[in-house]
Structure 1
Amino acid sequence: MNTAHTHTYNRHMPSIASKSLPRTWMSWAVFFFFCASVFGLAMRYFFIGEIPFFEYKHLLHAHSHIALLGWGYLLLTGLLTFSYVKSPLRLKLYKKILILTVIANIGMMLSFPFQGYGGFSIAFSTMHLVLSYVFAYSFFRDLKKSASGTAKTLICLSIIWMLISSIGLWAIAPIGAILGRMHPLYFMSVQWFLHFQLNGWFVYALLGLVLIYMETKGHPIKIGPKTLLALHLSLFLTYALPVSWSMPATVLLYLNGLGVVLQAFAYFIILRPIITQLHSSYCLSKSWINSMLWIGIISLLAKALIQATLILPDVANVAYTIRNYVIGFVHLVMLGAITFGLGALALKNNWLRKNRQALIAWVLLAIGFITSEFLILGQGILLWAKLGFIPHYHLLVFIASAFLPLGLALMLLAQWFSYPPIQKSPKSIQIQKSHHKSKITETMKSTVLMSMGIALLLMASCGGGGSNENQGSYTPPSAKKEKVADPKGIGEIKEVILGDEIDQVLAEKGKAILDMKCTACHQYNAKRLVGPGFEGLTNRRRSEWIMNMITNVDVMLNEDPVAQKLLEECLTRMPNQNISIDESRQILEYFRKNDREKTGGSDAAMN
């Protein structure tokens, strides 16, 4: 009986090579996190200096894809795999999935900065998407073998939300071909993917993994069906807010309000026992890793509280018209809840190293996250109150963001080169040699495979240019028609009478509105960020067109050929900021002032 038990135990014990897989997996996750942070730092630098050879929007796409699909995805799938899968044979399958996923991420990392959405970047993104399906299928098979419970339910649902989120990606191509890339459904498809990724896949998995950790510590937590129902309903109802960005409707804001109330209720019920147990059993002073876990839990609570304020439609409007809030919220989820929450669990399982170098790395990461969040959200509050900018705001955010790649570089060094002390008994030395040998073999195989992938990418790149003409862009049916653009645009403004001199009072009021609602995507110079720069605008477009574009943005994007062309170039739909005609006149006056200061003249398009 004992012999049979021992045989079964040894058969299911991970091999030495399998034991190295978690740290290899996490090392790749940290590597892509480092790369994403470098792209993010470069984006910050665009506001204070020049970066040759790169476009802001291309770096934006590289940053978002590598952060989401490199760091977030690998961290989460790694934690799920090594929490549930123990069979060495099954782990070999996941190792292959990891290698292919790394190749897909490297492909995106090398292609997005140079071509944005193009043939190669889309191919590698699709490769990653297909691999996520392979992972989901494989993981569901292994998950069936584990005991039922609340944690398993949340983990199952998280995988389902990941699959559901991908519907948005598959919908993009047919919607772009049939309705055009400026159609609201196109942007709703993108938001569908992001919404169910962040609030479904990542948050559900985080909650499930925390519950697993509580179970291992002897504190099982059960969640009732009503709470789960509230959580599911809130997930769907809060999708109404991003829908309202491209299809403004008051009813959508009320649906979102109901969703955030249900979400606050569900989070309170789920997190209350977790916080109680963490507070009583794992105080902040006991371990720095517990502090990291607290940052993750507090960030998740802050997410729920911030979203709860969106129950008021006016607040919901402000939340998406001031881009600082959008950026701060996304970072709160990805950098706060996911990075520190899941990172702490990886540390507790020894899948991420927890030595002195790692401690310094995580402290630097925490400093970068907390200071940048305070700056970004604090600046958003100042813009909302029309109090201007924090002195040297962009420089301060750049400095705060620099702590992230600095900490991650140190974390990589700790992960790769720093080893904990071991007992030098003959047996342990033999195990170490065996471990080292298997690790070298493992690394060689991975290196060969990835080198082949990179070589293929580089050879393919030699045959394809990075220009916009060769990026597989599609011209929607509406743009194929021979439309004659009205130089005055489409809207209520038919005639604008301008004075010879600049009205300074109007111009200052206009600048205050632009600072609050527009400068996260546009700059006052000619540099293109998410959207084109403002410099020279009154010399390119008539005043009526400018004011109609500001006040009647949805119709302009759907019907005006010039606005549609700009949308195709930027691939980001300008939100309806609910700006009045009087406010648009104030903005126009500042555009005139800005052009005279920067170009020496204004209103050339009126002549």
Structure 2
Amino acid sequence: MLKKLVLVSLLNFLIAAIMGLLLRYSFLGDLPINYRYLTHAHSHVAMLGWVYLMLYTFYVYYFIPDKKPTYNRLFWLTEFAVIGMLLSFPFQGYAAISITFSTLHILCSYYFVYLIWKHFKSDSKVTKLLVRASLLFMLVSTLGVWCLGPAVSTFGKASAFYQIAIQFFLHFQFNGWFLIGVIAIFFHLLQIKNSKAFKHFFILLIISTILTLALPIQWFAPHNSLFWINTIGITLQIIALILFFKLINPQLSKFFIKQTSLTRNLFLFAIACLVLKIVLQFTALLPEFSQVVYEHRNFVIGFIHLTMLGVISGFLFALILQNNLVRFSKTMQFGVYSFILGFLLTELLIALQGYRYYIGEGIIAHYYLLLFLFSILLPLGISFLIINIKSTTYETS
């Protein structure tokens, strides 16, 4: 069952990557589809069809010893909601049908939280705290979605209220539910013990996740207090990162001995992206740079992809390999490294173009063509991973 659910999640990711490729092609040629609508479809399928369902799958696999049929049925109902969003968003954007499927997905997520909370089994307090924190952040994030309707009807889509509601949802999905979710599984595999260092790490992680919401709020409702709240949040985040390494370092070498070199490299890649993410957030303490990030979409897209493709997907890919779901062949290695190369090249290109806009220079020669060509490596890499999983005989332990 694990293999089948992972394949479905990866197929969602492949579809999201192909839609992202189409979005980048739209700057080179005409597409008979609304760019904004396709963006909505791309982001929803990537977040809710790939990351959400992969975390769903691994949470059930690792933390629910008595795997009741309810989890399987709920997975397919959630996938039905993802397919509904996939088929409706590109053609109508936010409208009756797409909102209905989005609402269904949220209701499924609520039931998922209830089930995990009820059936969760682990002797580790570390795992229990992180899993429950990630689920609570997922619940909290949906408050932003429920605020969208009142925000539009009362103030309109151009209002600060509407934009802040979106940022509220995205912030706690990415930095709360998704990020803490993969850390929970990673710490579970490393068998991190409860300690004073972990307690400090956990408290700082939670507080910093809440406080750093101040940065996107500041973009739409500027106030000096928000700058200082974000400063405190990022400072705590850096301390949490130091404690993160203090916790994992004693366990890494023992854990990596049991892994293939490719699996080890994927874990290290994800950790490196996590460090880079926090370093970039630290640069937002410079008010001028913070405003530049907001004004230049390249930086925003690059940062979102760093978190989504580098940190979160990096960890999820490593977990797939760690579970021996793939046949370790040259084609599989080609797929993984194609994805990483595509990620690195597109990130560097987007960052360089953002910098050129910042210093007042024009667009890089053949920028959109290069971005499109580099982006081909992403769905290519996912495709090779899917092919290798499909051809692998997986035996449950």
**TM-score range relative to shorter protein:** over 0.9
- The structure with the largest alpha-carbon Rg is 1
Residue in structure 2 matched with residue 49 of structure 1 by the alignment: 29
Q: In the TM superposition, what whole-angstrom CA distance separates every residue of 1:59-116 from its partner, at most 9, and x where no partner exists?
A: 100100000001110111111110111224x1x1111011111111111111111111
Is 1:154 equivalent to 2:133 in the alignment? no
Q: CA deviation at 1:32?
A: 0.4
Choose the corresponding residue for 1:133, options 110, 125, 128.
110
What TM-score does the superposition give when structure 1 sets the normalisation length?
A: 0.62
Amino acid at match of 1:389: I
User: Which of 74, 80, 88 is the aligned partner of 1:111?
Assistant: 88
Distance 1:421 1:230, change over 3 A: closer
Of residues 349, 357, 360 in structure 2, which corresponds to 1:383? 357
| 1:286 shift after superposition | 5.3
2:170 partner letter: L
1:87 aligned to 2:91?
A: no
Could you tell me how far apart the structure 1 residues matched to 2:250 and 2:332 are? Answer: 28
Give the corresponding residue for 2:184: 208
- The answer as to 2:244 corresponding to 1:270 is yes
1:234 is aligned, of 208, 219, 222, to 208
Count matched residues.
395
Counterpart AA for 1:205: G
Instruction: Measure the CA separation in 2 of the matches of 1:367 and 1:283.
Output: 25
1:248 Cα deviation from its structure 2 partner: 2.1
Query: 1:277 Cα shift?
Result: 3.8
**1:446-525 equivalent positions in 2, closer than 5 A:** none
Quote the residue 1:179 is aligned against.
155
Which amino acid in structure 2 is aligned with residue 157 of structure 1?
Answer: A
**Counterparts in 2 of 1:352 and 1:95: CA distance versus 1, 3 Å:** farther
Residue equivalent to 1:189: 165
Counterpart Cα distance in 2 of 1:352 and 1:69: 23
SS of 1:185's equivalent?
A: helix
1:413 to 380, 387, 390: 387
Structure 2 distance, partners of 1:277, 1:48, is 48
C-alpha distance after superposition, 1:508-538 (max 9, x if no partner): xxxxxxxxxxxxxxxxxxxxxxxxxxxxxxx
TM-superposed CA distance for 1:183, in Å, is 2.4
Cα 1:238–1:355 change in 2 (3 A) is same
Q: Which residue of 2 aligns with 1:72?
A: 51
C-alpha change, 1:49 and 1:275, in structure 2 (3 Å) is farther
* TM-score, structure 2 normalization: 0.94
Partner of residue 8, structure 1: none
Residue identity matched to 2:306? L
Q: Which residues of structure 2 form unaligned runs of 5+? A: none
| 1:310–1:113 distance in 2 versus 1, CA, 3 Å | same
Tell which deviates more after alignment, 231-240 or 31-40: 231-240
Alpha-carbon deviation of 1:58? 0.7
Instruction: Report which of the two has the higher share of helix.
Output: 2
Query: 1:221·1:273 contact (CA, 8 Å) conserved in 2?
Result: no
Structure 2 residue 324 is matched with structure 1 residue 350: yes
- Does the alignment pair 1:100 with 2:77? yes
Work out the CA distance in 1 between the residues paired with 2:382 and 2:326. 12
Deviation at residue 233 of structure 1 after TM alignment? 1.9
1:201 to partner: Cα distance: 0.5
> Aligned equivalents of 2:301 and 2:20: distance in 1?
12
Corresponding residue of 1:39: 19
The answer to whether the 8 A contact 1:258-1:311 is kept is no
CA deviation after TM superposition for structure 1 residue 282, in Å: 2.9
- Secondary structure at the counterpart of residue 334 of structure 1: helix
Kept in 1: contact 2:326–2:392 (CA 8 A):
no
How far 1:283 sits from its partner (Å)? 7.7
Letter in 1 for 2:46: A
- Tell me, yes or no, if the aligned pair for 1:257 and 1:312 is still in contact at 8 Å: no
What letter corresponds to residue 343 of structure 2 in structure 1?
F
Q: Distance in 2 between matches of 1:25 and 1:193?
A: 26
CA offsets per residue over residues 127-184 of structure 1, 9 Å max, x none?
A: 11110111111011111x3224212211110000000001111111123223333321
1:199 equivalent among 142, 152, 175: 175
Change (3 A) 1:377 1:277: farther
Equivalent residue runs for 1:550-561 within 5 Å = none
Name the residue aligned to 1:363. Answer: 337
Distance 2:337 2:39 in 1: 26
Aligned to 1:241, what secondary structure does the other structure show? helix
Q: Is the 8 A contact 1:319 1:325 kept in 2?
A: yes
CA-to-partner distance for each residue in 1:297-325, whole Å, 9 max, x for gaps? Answer: 11111111110111221221122112111
Aligned to 2:174, the other structure's residue is in SS state: helix
**2: CA distance, partners of 1:47 / 1:287:** 38
Distance 2:188 2:336 in 1: 23
What secondary structure sits across from 2:281 in the alignment?
helix
Distance 1:332 1:271 in 2: 20
Q: Distance in 1 between matches of 2:340 and 2:253?
A: 20
Segments of structure 1 that go 5 or more residues without pairing to the other structure are 1-20, 423-430, 432-607
Letter in 2 for 1:321: E
Q: Work out whether 1:58 is the aligned partner of 2:37.
A: yes
Task: Report if aligned partners of 2:298, 2:351 keep a CA contact under 8 Å in 1.
Answer: yes
CA deviations over 1:403-461 (Å, ceiling 9, x no partner) = 11112222222222x13499xxxxxxxx9xxxxxxxxxxxxxxxxxxxxxxxxxxxxxx
Of 192-201 and 311-320, the range deviating more from structure 2: 311-320
- Contact 1:362/1:411, CA 8 A, preserved across alignment: yes
Supply the distance in 1 between the matched residues of 2:137 and 2:274 (Cα, whole angstroms): 18
Q: Distance in 2 between matches of 1:243 and 1:204?
A: 22
Distance 1:275 1:325, change over 3 A: farther
Aligned match of 1:120: 97
Per-residue deviation, residues 272-296 of structure 1 (Å, max 9, x unmatched): 4324643576389951111111111
- Deviation of 1:355 after TM superposition, in Å, equals 4.3
Which piece of structure 1 moves more, 362-371 or 275-284? 275-284
